[in-house]
Structure 1
Amino acid sequence: MKPTFIKQTCRLLCAATTLLLSSNMPTFAQTVSDADAHEIVAKLGDRLVDVYPFPEISAKYKADLLKNEAAGHYHNLSESELAAKLTADMRATHKDVHLRVSRNEESYKSMTEPRSRRGGARTSEDNSNERANYGFKRVEVDGITSTAYVEIPGPFLASQEALDMAAASMNMCAYSKYVILDVRHNPGGTGQMGRFLASYFYPTGREQFYLNGFYKDRQRDEQEWTYSYVPGRHMPDAKVYILTGRGTGSASEGFAYAMQQLKRATIVGDTSAGAGIAGGNVALKNNLVAFVPVKMVVGPHDNHGWEGIGVIPDVETGKEDALAATHNLILQDILKNSTDTVQKAAAQWVLDDAGIAANASVNMKAKYGELIGKYNSNLTITYVKGELLWNRVEPGKPIESYPLKEVKPDVLVVTGLNANIGPNVSRVYINRDAKGKVESLTRKTLGGNGRISTTAMPIKKI
């Protein structure tokens, strides 16, 4: 092959490659012209002045945007860079975490083009909400303490499917005395979902003034109330705990804030994001979309909200896990306030479990070596490789061994036994005579319904 031909071929390939790469370059790298940047800044500033709830702040937003543009801050930027710069500059003027500009080609087209020009028929449905179970991740019910836990990473949606999931979740909680609602990672969405959830914790027909919305045009102000009826059983007597964190934003903050102000829930965790002004999207230009706040949301009986402050928990947990802290609060509440002796005994059992880890260094052979031996009911206790073992011996079956750990003096947990019910639900209580010698053992089991059962006969050595 001749060298000239090879060079020509390489030039053609390089040119084709360059053309291919340039045709596939992401459009967000395209530089926004000065004229378009001016139009974007003008439209954004005018929109803020028109609808932002606080006139003095919106006037400052517009003035600073125009000043920055005159200084050339928005020249020679790509679409994404311009969006990020506008957002940063507005938050430097006044930190409203709702107010932002982003590059979103799909949203921009849906807002500016007729449906027939939006790229033709879609080849597949966006089922991301369906995959995420419409914002509801899991429900766990603990029969031992009568506690229901609902994890709601969100976002809050107002579709039929989302409300169905909310109703299904609430119905799983229907007979629990304690309900934990976890919105620590919920970015927000529609306020209707929060009102829907709140409605379950009031009697049917007892609507509550939930939140108040203020617009720049005060004639549009609106009150938000809980719903008179929601499907399923209402829980007006359940004690409610809402878990919040830095990831709790907007409408999920509104839910926590309203329930706190109504004194219907205890808020546990960390201070939320502080996004308390609701709004909507505005198409600017060059695929840029602005989320512009239009409604300041405040408490049901005052003029204060959580904007810029966040929802401050009743119980701040710091580095401690908010869910673990809430479970502890519930156990303490049961012991202090419950009149149910079964529930109180179960709560004390769970609290005592903290001693298992605390006593991990106990020399079990030195302290409880007297237990080693053979017992009735096909049982032996042995000491193997540093562990005291509870062994279940049945003819024709493999020996089942479970380590014994100290819960508190003369109370041992048989770790792993009856694990189908729960962790640490089987215990051995040591009965001693007047001289302190082991006389017999009693085994107790904490059932899934919170009842503690006891072996009919004492377990003795043979």
Structure 2
Amino acid sequence: MTTLTKLQPAPVIDETARLLTEHYVFPDTAEQLAALLHRRLTEGAYDVDDAEEFARLVTADLQSANGDRHLRLKHHADPVPPKQGAANLASIRRDFDTSLGGAPRVELLNGAVAVLELTPMLFPLEWAAEPLSAALTLASRAQALIIDLRANRGGDPDTVAFVCSYLLDERTHLNSMYWRAGNRTEQSWSLPHVPGTRFGGTKPLYVLSSANTFSAAEELAYDLQQLGRAVVVGERTRGGAHPCEGWTVHPHLEATVPVGRAINPVSGTNWEGTGVQPDVPCAAADALTQAHTLALAQLAG
């Protein structure tokens, strides 16, 4: 058990509230939540001995206003570095090194239908470009492709654009991101050229989703769905469309605060709170079989 030894909850709450008001993409909500945290602190709601329980209580309050699942106080069992973002980066690097770079499965099913599983996340592009290019090039010769995002918990928007570039024939506006810092909006486009071989923009494409599919993985599914490029098969996703940054506020605690929000050029909105709605709803466990059946039928037709 990790305890709050030598730490009172007040400094953590003060720093988390400061980060909220300075960085959260919705300033009005940030003010409300900062006041809520201080009120709950005064009431003794955070007077617990376990850091993990403390993080759970604070996270519940942070998400009480608008259900933003990227907004949280995250507990780390091992001490985390003080540098901004370092806690998350160290964690995902371990996952990268044990998952073949985020593409642990490429398989050819009956009927020349390929399955490409992207999990546990879409890693930073400077790490992931090589393994993803290899996996997507290998799958490019298939007659239909199923991308499995059922266990993908998010990642890098640049990696989303990289993957989409293999699944389209021409440069395409995929998404826009509004950033609170600088009050600016940036567009995300597929790449005009890719290393390796494209699967292309015409062959059948299916994306598998689950209730655990989150964040950048949701963007990948949503972008392709809104473009009419892919059929999403499975469950409604978790519903997190706000990119966040992390700050260490205690040796075992990291405050993650959304600093932007996605704006899809087709829908004009995003999947925050609602999740990505599948085109073919079914249990996640049945999604691969369902998509394979659909692909075979489409190829036969």
Structure 1 distance, partners of 2:94, 2:154, is 19
Structure 1 distance, partners of 2:21, 2:95, is 35
Counterpart among 272, 283, 296 of residue 248 in structure 2: 283
Alignment of 1:8-19 (within 5 A): none
Q: How many angstroms does 1:130 deviate by?
A: 2.4
Alignment of 1:332-347 (within 5 A): 332-336=297-301
Counterpart among 300, 303, 325 of residue 290 in structure 2: 325
Deviations 1:267-322 (CA, angstroms, capped at 9, x unpaired): 11000111111111112135321111111112123431111111101111147600
Structure 1 distance, partners of 2:209, 2:134, is 22
- Is 2:100 the counterpart of 1:133? yes
- Is 2:204 the counterpart of 1:247? no
Structure 2 distance, partners of 1:49, 1:303, is 26
Structure 1 distance, partners of 2:284, 2:119, is 20
Superposition TM-score, scaled by structure 1 size: 0.60
Deviations 1:162-221 (CA, angstroms, capped at 9, x unpaired): 211111111111222211000000011111221111001222xx2111111112246332
- In the other structure, the counterpart of 2:151 is 185
- In the other structure, the counterpart of 1:201 is 167
Distance 1:207 1:316, change over 3 A: same
Counterpart among 10, 20, 36 of residue 38 in structure 1: 10
Alignment of 1:225-304 (within 5 A): 225-234=189-198, 235-304=200-269
- In the other structure, the counterpart of 1:417 is none
Counterpart among 188, 204, 209 of residue 224 in structure 1: 188
RCO greater where, 1 or 2, for CA within 8 Å and sep 6 or more? 2
Identity %: 27
Counterpart among 109, 133, 143 of residue 167 in structure 1: 133
- In the other structure, the counterpart of 1:67 is 39
Deviations 1:68-117 (CA, angstroms, capped at 9, x unpaired): 111111224332222121112212233111111123375633428xx9xx
Deviations 1:379-416 (CA, angstroms, capped at 9, x unpaired): xxxxxxxxxxxxxxxxxxxxxxxxxxxxxxxxxxxxxx
8 Å CA contact 1:32–1:77 kept in 2: the answer is no
Superposition TM-score, scaled by structure 2 size: 0.89
Q: Specify the code of the residue in structure 2 equivalent to 1:187.
A: R
Structure 1: stretches of 5+ with no match in the other structure: 1-25, 116-125, 337-462
Structure 2: stretches of 5+ with no match in the other structure: 87-92
Structure 1 distance, partners of 2:27, 2:6, is 29
Q: Specify the code of the residue in structure 2 equivalent to 1:153.
A: T
RMSD between superposed Cα atoms in Å: 2.2
Structure 2 distance, partners of 1:318, 1:103, is 31
Structure 1 distance, partners of 2:72, 2:180, is 19
8 Å CA contact 2:125–2:156 kept in 1: the answer is no
Distance 1:59 1:313, change over 3 A: same
Distance 1:313 1:218, change over 3 A: farther
Q: How many angstroms does 1:161 deviate by?
A: 4.5
8 Å CA contact 1:32–1:76 kept in 2: the answer is no
- Is 2:48 the counterpart of 1:48? no
Structure possessing the higher radius of gyration over alpha carbons: 1
Distance 1:104 1:319, change over 3 A: closer
Distance 1:334 1:49, change over 3 A: same
- Is 2:107 the counterpart of 1:146? no
Deviations 1:125-163 (CA, angstroms, capped at 9, x unpaired): x75522210111111123x52211111123111254421
What SS does structure 1 have at the residue aligned with 2:134? Answer: helix
8 Å CA contact 2:246–2:256 kept in 1: the answer is yes
Q: How many angstroms does 1:253 deviate by?
A: 0.6
What SS does structure 2 have at the residue aligned with 1:109? Answer: coil
Distance 1:185 1:79, change over 3 A: same
8 Å CA contact 2:96–2:123 kept in 1: the answer is no
8 Å CA contact 2:209–2:284 kept in 1: the answer is no
- In the other structure, the counterpart of 1:111 is 83
Deviations 1:354-389 (CA, angstroms, capped at 9, x unpaired): xxxxxxxxxxxxxxxxxxxxxxxxxxxxxxxxxxxx
What SS does structure 2 have at the residue aligned with 1:296? Answer: strand
Deviations 1:336-364 (CA, angstroms, capped at 9, x unpaired): 3xxxxxxxxxxxxxxxxxxxxxxxxxxxx
Q: Which runs of 4+ in 1 moved over 4 A?
A: none
Structure 2 distance, partners of 1:127, 1:57, is 34
Q: How many angstroms does 1:330 deviate by?
A: 1.5
- In the other structure, the counterpart of 1:87 is 59
Structure 1 distance, partners of 2:79, 2:275, is 29
What SS does structure 1 have at the residue aligned with 2:250? Answer: coil
What SS does structure 1 have at the residue aligned with 2:276? Answer: coil
Deviations 1:42-64 (CA, angstroms, capped at 9, x unpaired): 22112112121112221221121
* More moved, 158-167 vs 63-72: 158-167
